[in-house]
Amino acid sequence: MIRVARTGKPIVIEKKQAAWTQALLGATTHKEKQRAEGKYRHRAIKDALVSMFHGKCAYCESKISHIDYGHIEHFRPKSKPEFRHLTFEWNNLLLSCPVCNDAGHKGDHFPEAVDGGPLVNPCDDLPDDHFEFVVDQTAWLATVVGKTSRGEMTEKLLGLNRPELRAYRSKLVMKLCVLSRYVETDADAKMLFEEACRDDAEYAAFARKLASNMPA
């Protein structure tokens, strides 16, 4: 997870949020609620989120736009009555992969402080304050380790070290480990490594960790 600067509110939210919220909160039947709630799926909102997160999951940093449509994730779940008024709130919307946002992970969970929460939000928090991005070149593993109670809760609930994700991520990060040995002597290696540290690169948090350990 890396820090993501939230971009400006899409025009459609500027124009429609108040009316959409009023219609949702005033819905009296299941059908009316579904019709009103579905407005958050507006194409302009989705496009803005994909652009802001560079087609990556806000949580696990996996690229999703080339293989999946991704989920518009409500950080504070719209399914909970106390958060329903935030259904169209731009600051409550993230882009998530289907796994991080499924019922077995984030889903409609929102742990409060008493339970070790809230979850780390890449737009509101500094992920480096809550996580260590550990690169073990002996075991060939790239692991997210929570270093605060919120970090631990977020890693556990989202499954940021779920086996399939960690295996895929580790292969990429280990290639970066090898590449990092040549950045001082090979211009192409340096360029590729710098690209891996950019906001739009998968698992940039780990690339930046490697970069921080390199000689200045």
| pLDDT tens-place string over residues 113-167 | 998 899 999 999 999 999 999 999 999 999 999 999 999 999 999 999 999 999 9
Distance, in Å, from the CA atom of 193 to the CA atom of 207, rounded to the nearest integer, reads 8
Mean pLDDT of 86-107: 96
- Check: CB of residue 84 under 8 Å from CB of residue 25: yes
Closest CA to 161 of 196, 136, 126, 197: 136
pLDDT tens profile 17-28? 999 999 999 999
The chain-wide mean pLDDT, for the chain, equals 95
Distance, in Å, from the CA atom of 73 to the CA atom of 181, rounded to the nearest integer, reads 38
Residue 5 banded pLDDT, cuts 50, 70, 90? very high
Distance, in Å, from the CA atom of 126 to the CA atom of 25, rounded to the nearest integer, reads 33
Report domain extents, the chain. 11-115, 127-212
Does residue 214 register a pLDDT over 90?
no
| pTM, to two decimals | 0.94
